[in-house]
Amino acid sequence: MPPLFTAALFDLDGTLLDTLTDLADAANHALASVGRPTHPRDAYRTLVGQGVRQLFIDGLGPDHTHLVDDAIAAHLAYYEAHRFDTTRPYPGIEALLKALAQRGVRLGVLSNKPDDATQDVIARYFPDTPWAYVRGHRAGTAPKPDPHAAIEATQALGIPPERWLYVGDTSVDMQTGQGAGMFTVGVTWGFRSVEELWASGAEALIHEPAELLELLDR
């Protein structure tokens, strides 16, 4: 009997890579550059995840939305120069990707990080992984939880949604996977809580990357 799941689509920040410090540093640099207070590092666990524009809408507050574009520009410039300062794959991620590839699982990444940054960090940290689909947020398209890019992945690879695992660490990810018709898997090592993942529709939770392998034949 063939395995039930033959493809896996991963979120990036908080799922494959621990990017929190680099994201917080870049965002705080941007806030300071427009004369606004910065936030503690852990505040970015909830501020990030919905795309860079929403990050600064929330981070600046409703009385300072006129500063959003300037803050975004400062953030992107700083992050481009510093996106590799402290970012690293979570323990066990590289072994998981290798094991999935060896089992013939098609692998993809879908992030709300800008597309150029997504492509850059994937090439930097996972150069040997045979990615079949890598996409970040592109101008003129809706960010996650809009499922259009996840659906695009199923069409590009010719694998129906019900054969996909969607793996992420936030409610945005669970909603995206659900909207695309995929089986949603929440990871507990990322930026958000177990309670958020269950409440937003996770169909399974894993606490270590290797546990994803146990779901393949489910």
Task: Dump pLDDT digits (tens) for 175-190.
Answer: 999 999 999 999 999 9
In 13-148, where do the E strands start and end? Answer: 17-18, 88-89, 106-114, 131-137
Task: For residues 151 and 176, give the distance between their C-alpha atoms in angstroms, rounded to a whole number.
Answer: 9
Contact call for residues 112 and 143 (beta carbons, < 8 A): yes
Task: For residues 91 and 94, give the distance between their C-alpha atoms in angstroms, rounded to a whole number.
Answer: 8
Q: Which residues pair with 88 in a beta bridge?
A: 18
Task: For residues 101 and 107, give the distance between their C-alpha atoms in angstroms, rounded to a whole number.
Answer: 7
CB atoms within 10 A of CB 37: 10
Pair 100, 65 in one domain: no
Contact call for residues 39 and 32 (beta carbons, < 8 A): no
Task: For residues 53 and 71, give the distance between their C-alpha atoms in angstroms, rounded to a whole number.
Answer: 9
Task: For residues 218 and 201, give the distance between their C-alpha atoms in angstroms, rounded to a whole number.
Answer: 18
13 flagged as catalytic: no
Pair 34, 78 in one domain: yes
Is residue 198 over pLDDT 90? yes
Structure tokens at 158: 């010719």
**161 falls within a domain:** yes
> Three-class SS of residue 204?
strand
Please give the pLDDT value at position 59: 95
What residue numbers bound the domain in which 31 lies?
20-82
Quickly state the pLDDT bin for 50 (edges 50, 70, 90).
confident
**51 falls within a domain:** yes
Task: For residues 47 and 218, give the distance between their C-alpha atoms in angstroms, rounded to a whole number.
Answer: 34
Please give the pLDDT value at position 49: 86
Kindly state the average pLDDT of the residues 140-145: 94
Which listed residue (11, 22, 25, 169) is catalytic? 11
Quickly state the pLDDT bin for 28 (edges 50, 70, 90).
very high
Pair 144, 97 in one domain: yes
Pair 14, 28 in one domain: no
